[in-house]
Amino acid sequence: MAGMIFDPGNMSLADLETIYRDRNLTMSLSRRTRDKIEAVARTIADAAAADTPIYGVNTGFGKLASVKISPADTATLQRNLILSHCCGVGAPTPPPIVALMMALKLVSLGRGASGVRWELIELLEAMLARGVIPVVPLQGSVGASGDLAPLAHLAAVMIGEGGAFLRGDGEDKTMPAIVALQKAGLKTLAFGPKEGLALINGTQFSTAQALAALFDARRLARNALITGALSTDAAMGSAAPFRHEIHDLRGQPGQIAAARILRALMAGSEIRESHREGDERVQDPYCLRCQPQVMGACLDLLDNVAAVLEREANAVTDNPLVFDDGTIVSCGNFHAEPVAFAADQIAIAVAEIGAIAQRRIAMLVDPAMNFGLPPFLTPEPGLNSGFMIAEVTSAALMSENKHLAAPCSVDSTPTSANQEDHVSMAAHGAVRLHRMTANLAVIVAIEWLCAAQAVELRAPLKTSAALTRAVEALRAEIPALGADRHMAADLDGAAALVKADAPFSAVGPDLFDGGDVS
């Protein structure tokens, strides 16, 4: 199994995406962090035995912070905290996202400001290495005072409570946590002072969900540039709006990159050359002409989000925190407002990428707009309906994404007897993104199917070499549409290829080099 050793606070987005996508990866903290972690754990142990009240160390939680807890009850306090907070509901979080969530918790605890013992670090590392992945329900967090319920379900496995997946036993199969630990050769841990609190305070659930959606959105964005270029050529659109001088005059980096990529994708197309002179059309519709402006804005937005989430992934977000001088201070780093804003911005970008792609699909199937192609891209329209309802499906998914793109971060509701009276709603803001990226994958897949069919109908003229490779990658799995057939399998198959990055892999990364779109 591949291994990654990291210094907390220095995880890159590439590192985090590797953790998300590589199920066989193991990871561990640099052992240089051990001395600091153990020193801070001793500070917390001393505070637990002292008379001075320290929130969550020798007191109750939330509105019960004024209740003093005796040193003899420290372990019971932390165990009860985890059990009482395991109130998540709904479907389980996919294991790759839980693994990323565990890694983010390791990063945060590894900064040495949380007061956990080295033994806890080692158990988290071992669970990741041996594939013990907690069952974490998707619903129950409001994104303040940390992702309490989801993180409690993660922490519960460490004390032998709750459920877990075990790599090798099937990702859809769960078992009691204690059984998963035993099968993996691991033992439970009795939490010391503050350790339960350190595990459940934090933004790791929201951040992992948002990061996973970001990684998928960026992948879909680059594939949408490919299908967009293919649609432009299929519709005999002009590449003139992609000239670099246009975009240099505006200066937006994403727009410049998108235009450059579109130019590179279409270079050498016989279809393009066939109508360069004498074309009766003066301008293309916006869904073709304004691709650099729309896609570029989305790329820039995703880049901004990436910077926020990279910082959050490396952050310490529990409460209270222990400073180098031994001071223990209650704070609010667990409030996930930055993640909530980031999730809403991802939602906007995903919705817009799908919106402009859907308009290209609609244009390609419309004989009034597609410049000589048959209605609905079928050789025998009337007897066959071709891509008529595939376009309707793309419209349905586009509309659903627009509804889902409404901001979650502007919502708040008081919780915990008004102690936690403003919350971020980052968790459901991030969780909803996966439905949106799944929808977008299908929209991009439908455009790929339509554009490939349309390009083939332009024969004997050929598209560019790069776009030909994109068509060939599709045709290796899904044949061209002749007579009508059961279409759902085609849509599902094409969407699976898009999710697997097949168009980008076929075209090759060289055409994307120099543009921050990966």
Q: For 454-481, how does the pLDDT look when each residue is reduced to its tens digit (9 = 90+)?
A: 999 999 999 999 999 999 999 999 999 9
Per-residue pLDDT at 422 exceeds 90: no
Per-residue pLDDT at 514: 60
- Sequence-distant (≥ 6) Cβ neighbours of residue 510 within 8 angstroms: none
Average pLDDT over residues 419-442: 93
Average pLDDT over residues 363-368: 96
Per-residue pLDDT at 1 exceeds 50: no
Per-residue pLDDT at 208 exceeds 60: yes
Task: Label residue 240 exposed, middle or buried (CB < 10 Å: 0-12, 13-18, 19+).
Answer: exposed
What pLDDT band is residue 515 in, cutting at 50, 70 and 90? very low
Per-residue pLDDT at 83: 97
In angstroms, the CA 398 to CA 76 distance is 50
Asked about 286 being catalytic, the answer comes back as: no
* CA separation, residue 454 to residues 276, 364, 451, 460, 478 (Å): 19, 7, 5, 12, 15
Q: Rounded mean pLDDT of the chain?
A: 93
In angstroms, the CA 394 to CA 389 distance is 9
Per-residue pLDDT at 4: 86
Threshold 0.85, pTM exceeds = yes
First and final CA of the chain: distance in angstroms? 26
Catalytic residue (choose from 19, 33, 37, 55):
55
Q: What domains sit in the chain, N to C, each tagged with a CATH number?
A: 3-201 (1.10.275.10), 224-295+336-512 (1.20.200.10)
Q: Is the peptide bond before 320 cis (omega within 30 degrees of 0)?
A: yes
Neighbouring-strand partners of residue 381? 384
Name the percent of the chain lying above pLDDT 90.
Answer: 81
Q: Is the peptide bond before 460 cis (omega within 30 degrees of 0)?
A: yes
What pLDDT band is residue 516 in, cutting at 50, 70 and 90? very low
H or E element, residue 321: strand 321-322
Per-residue pLDDT at 170: 65
Per-residue pLDDT at 60: 78
Per-residue pLDDT at 212 exceeds 70: yes
- Sequence-distant (≥ 6) Cβ neighbours of residue 161 within 8 angstroms: 82, 83, 86, 177, 178
Residues 141 and 202 sit within 8 Å (Cβ to Cβ): no
Per-residue pLDDT at 102 exceeds 50: yes
- Sequence-distant (≥ 6) Cβ neighbours of residue 325 within 8 angstroms: none
Per-residue pLDDT at 273 exceeds 60: yes
The helix/strand/coil state of 240 is helix
Q: What is the pLDDT of residues 20-63, one digit of tens each?
A: 999 888 888 999 999 999 999 999 999 988 888 888 888 877 77
